[in-house]
Amino acid sequence: MAPRILLARHGQTRWSLSGKHTGRTDIPLLEEGRRGAKLLGERLCHGSWAGLPDVEVRTSPLSRAKETCELAGFGDRARDWDALLEWDYGAYEGMTPAEIRAARPGWLIWRDGVPEGESVASIAARADEVVAWARSADRDVLVFAHGHILRTLGARWLGYDVSFGARIRLDPTSLSVLGWAYGEPAIERWNDTGHLA
């Protein structure tokens, strides 16, 4: 079987709840985010997932992703990886899209990037590194990270430009699976939050 990559977005934080761009600021999980992480872990321990005994696990080193990983029950198997850090939003850190567009009408991060932060080319290169690692594995892999880097991973897995990430939303504590169909990269599951219901 060709390897798949399972994507887990971190649980809810105060900034994700308000829509603020949370790049490298290390915001802790809310209680709702901790509960969601535990529910995600319960889901992955049962049914067809059966605890993913052979999965290789990597996590962003930021606490909201690491704590989600730990609460989901994968902390003892996880390795930190800077390639999974969230987009560095530079001057736009802590701002909402509406606040940014008030000063810069028509702005779209996927096209325009951010001043004093990480370029679109840089986040694409990091995502490509993760995709190459996942495809070279001899087993499924599981990553715990953040909304924009995971959306970029989705785009790059499929062979699309980073801008495709604008079309594939991700909610906190969601589960997504990137795999294969007819020998081509495919989305098997996206933004699945069924475990939170």
Active site residues: 10, 86
Q: Which of 136, 183, 169, 163 is nearest to 7 (CA)?
A: 169
Residue partners of 151: CB distance under 8 A and separation at least 6: 165, 166, 168, 169, 170
The span from the CA of 41 to the CA of 38, in Å, is 5
Asked if 93 and 117 count as a contact pair (C-beta separation under 8 A), the reply is yes
Contacts of 18 (CB under 8 A, 6+ apart): 96
The whole-angstrom separation of Cα 92 and Cα 95 is 5
* Chain position carrying tokens 């779209």: 108
State the virtual CA torsion across 51, 52, 53, 54 in degrees, nearest 10.
-170
Q: Are 90 and 114 in contact (CB under 8 A)?
A: yes
Continuous segment of H or E residues that includes residue 140: none
Q: Helix 147-157 and helix 120-136: axis angle, to 10°?
A: 60
